Structure formats: structure tokens, C-alpha cells
Amino acid sequence: RQMCIRDRKNVEPDKLKELKQLTEKLQNEPNKKRKRRKFNELDRELHSLIVQSSPNKRLHEIYSRIYDFVKISQSMDPKFEESLEEHLLLFEAMLENNLTKAKKILMMHIDNAKDNGIKALENGLYSNYREKKNLEVSKRHLSISRKL
């Protein structure tokens, strides 16, 4: 986690500002389905921006392993609006170059996303053994990502 934030200097401030503005605008979207779809697009763009801006190859490897789980949990996350708020807080901290604040927000966001994703998966995604086994693999990948 710290590796991502420490590499903030590699993230283009203009791109961060643009993503922050799009996220702020999204807060007022009245159509829930459209809001979720657009949030998922912005979320993937933010993750990609941060990961690709880091020279850390281990971070790239771990993210590529958990990417499918991230997409699944995004589509099922009933609390995506909380993630939207966390993103705004993270944008602000990164734009302020406040490493301590950004790290705390990122840790909170990862923990919340992990917990919400696992709850969503446990509450009905899998209906057979094979899908349940895939859930266990996804959980292992999440535990690896927590060690960043």
C-alpha cells in the first residue's frame, strides 16, 4: 500500500484532478444504474493510474492477479457510494502530497473494499463447488495484496 502512495510523484496531477472532478460530478447522478456503471469505469481508471505510475513490478503482478476479483466485487458492491467518497478523500490527499493522510485513506479503502467484496461473494455469487473454489483463490489473492 505504501508503495502506491509513495509513488504519487509519478502520477500526473492533471489526471488526478480530472478524475476527482468526474467523481465529484458523479455524486449528483440521480440514475443509480448509470451512477454505478460510471463509478466502476472511474474506479478502474484510478486503480490503473496508480498501479501503472508505480515502478514497483511486484505491485503490478499482485494487481494483475486480483484484477478479476476487483471487477467482480465492484459489480456487486452495495456500498459503492462509500467507495466514491473514499476516492474523493484519496484524491485530495494525493493532490496535497500528504503521504500520511493518503496512506490512512488507502488502507481504509482497501479494507472496506475487501470486506464488502468478500461479503458480496459469500452472499450468493457462487452456486456450485467450482465457483466456491474460485472464491477461495480470490480470498488468497486479497490476503497477498494486504501485505503491500
pLDDT tens digits, one per residue of 41-78:
888 888 888 888 888 889 889 888 888 877 777 776 66
What pLDDT is stored for residue 104 in this prediction? 95
Query: What value does the mean pLDDT take over residues 31-39?
Result: 87
Query: What value does the mean pLDDT take over residues 139-148?
Result: 56
Asked if residues 7 and 55 have their Cβ atoms less than 8 Å apart, the reply is: yes
Does the model's pTM come out above 0.75?
no
Tell me the CA distances in angstroms from 12 to 18, 19, 30, 98, one per residue in order.
10, 11, 30, 16
What pLDDT is stored for residue 89 in this prediction? 93
Instruction: Provide the phi-psi class of 11: left if phi over 0, else alpha when psi is between -120 and 50, else beta.
Output: beta
What pLDDT is stored for residue 50 in this prediction? 81
* pLDDT surpassing 60 at residue 94: yes
Share of the chain above pLDDT 70, in %: 73
Averaged confidence pLDDT in the chain: 77
